[in-house]
Amino acid sequence: MHKQQFLSRIADKSAVIGIVGLGYVGLPLMLRFAEVGYKVIGYDIDQGKVDALMNGQSYIEHIPATSIQGALLDGFEATSDFVRASEADALILCVPTPLNKYREPDLSFVINTIDSLVPYLRAGQLVSLESTTYPGTTDEELLPRIESRGFTVGEDAFLVFSPEREDPGNPDFTTRTIPKVCGGVTPACQEIGVALYGAVIDTVVPVSSTRAAEMTKLLENIHRAVNIGLVNEMKIVADKMDIDIHEVIRAAATKPFGFVPYYPGPGLGGHCIPIDPFYLTWKAREYGVNTRFIELAGEVNSGMPDWVVAKVASALNSRKKAINGSRVLVLGIAYKKNVDDMRESPSVFLMEKLRDLGAEISYSDPHVPVFPKMREHHFELSSVTLTPEVVAGYDCVLLATDHDRFDYAMLKEHAQLIIDSRGKFLDPADHIVKA
């Protein structure tokens, strides 16, 4: 299938869309293609996810089961059988790109995925990578593997990089309304990629190459990491001067130009902001460049959990208590408010640090009823239901993630001691400590 045939299949919606990796990125994208009228096949190595979807169940809190059931009625299928990759015209890769323990890019998910697909590729397919990665990944890792099958990219195979942009828990933006950046290996790749995404997303932003698209995503996330690092550093200075940094940020944010508010917290969480800057740092070394800004922000942000723990220690100490033996309730263990995503959550690091110091740890999170099995972190805990009696029974309540579903007035009234790492409690009180 050459370019014109592909474009006409996108236009008449006869193109079959394959989504590889059915997580926080892949699932919303699948729903959007199905909603518009495309036949979608979802591929995932996790048979549990495949079974759940085929039974009309969702495993992501903000995606209702009714949406999955609607997609099934529209012809959506999920499978763990990559042999079926040949059935799709477009294969969109939405797999994780974590760091290894040396803070270096771990492309194993991307590489294993493309290696699993390559034997089943056929002429005329488009492959799109959405996973955040360093500039050059699409050219250096995907292109040679696709061409190893004898295809010429730009003629009888097409390759683009189009980074995901998701903001879970943000009701103002959907997959459809978030503009989508897309860069192709050749102009023909670009044209097909833009047409494909343009069929389901309101605004597609073409850039001149896959490297430019890869760098765009990194700039977006590094921008956040550096600015959060800045306000985290200023928070420490403001605290020493007995100034409320949240009051200062709210005041600064009234300036109608030249200032964007960023908010400090107990550390960075999620799959993107703590991880992605290191992708650029690592690749920059190849070019003899030291990315000092990025690394400094990373240092400041990764030091935040220790700073919060020191605040807990000092607050308990002023009440003649040690962390050792104190009952500490951590509020919110998802990485950001109003979601159920635990990846890289600073709350988990706080829980571990406090546990290591001898605290008896409990948590409450309406979005995470049971502490999940994680590769690095182990807690056998379930979410505590908050009542005035329960809250009053803890030596310290640590607000780590400020979900809207917490009853802050009740917490303020009944907690013995609150450590507020999110600036949620505006009025000063003797038993509330800002962290």
* CB atoms closer than 10 angstroms to residue 323: 21
153 in Cβ contact with 189 (< 8 Å): yes
82 vs 228: CA distance, rounded Å = 40
**Is 94 considered catalytic here?**
no
41 in Cβ contact with 87 (< 8 Å): yes
Tell me which of 94, 182, 272, 396 is the catalytic residue. Answer: 272
Which segments of 88-245 are extended strands (E)?
Answer: 90-93, 126-129, 158-161, 180-184, 204-207
347 vs 54: CA distance, rounded Å = 33
End-to-end CA distance of the chain: 59
Decide the pairing of beta strands 180-184 and 158-161: antiparallel
DSSP secondary structure code for residue 123 in this structure: T
Best CA proximity match to 195, nearest among 321, 373, 12: 12
The two tokens of residue 107 are: 């492309």
- Cα angle at 281 between 143 and 291, to 5 degrees? 135
Provide the Cα torsion 50, 52, 57, 60; round to 10°: -70
Alpha carbon 164 to chain centroid distance? 10
Query: Is residue 71 classed as helix, strand or coil in its secondary structure?
Result: helix
State the catalytic residues.
272
